[in-house]
Amino acid sequence: MKWIEEILTDYNVSNIDLILEEIKKTYPSHAVPKEKYNALSKRVKAIQNENGLLKKLSQAGVRDSEYVLYKLRNTRTFKEEKASEWDKEIAAFKTAYPEQFSESRLNQPERNIIEVVRTIYDNT
């Protein structure tokens, strides 16, 4: 709390003791414990990792991204979050499970949801 006192002193705030006492009372209800912060931070990184990998899988022409993601979760690259090596892992997976990849998807531009709904509606 010394750092807060220094900031208040720099700004010539009067009643520093009262302010510090109020901060000490209210701080615990606003602070996030370090363990919880670290756990949340780790989870955010994992989600970002999965989203990046799902995007790469989509670009690679994967038919079922969730299944391939499930399989790749157990790899060293995924666990160590080495995004630069995903291409190697995807290539190895493509060799092992070619049925999970569709070459025709590689050459198709991405379609937005409106186009997909129109296509479905027009075909009914």
Quick one: pLDDT at residue 107? Answer: 45
pTM: 0.52
Quick one: pLDDT at residue 30? Answer: 81
Is residue 77 within 8 A of residue 89, CB to CB? The reply is yes
pLDDT, block means (10 residues), the chain with 124 residues: 79 82 85 87 81 82 83 68 72 84 55 60 59
Distance CA 30, CA 37 (A): 13
Quick one: pLDDT at residue 108? Answer: 46
Quick one: pLDDT at residue 97? Answer: 83
Quick one: pLDDT at residue 106? Answer: 45
Cα 63 to Cα 68, 81, 89, 108: the distances in Å are 9, 23, 16, 13
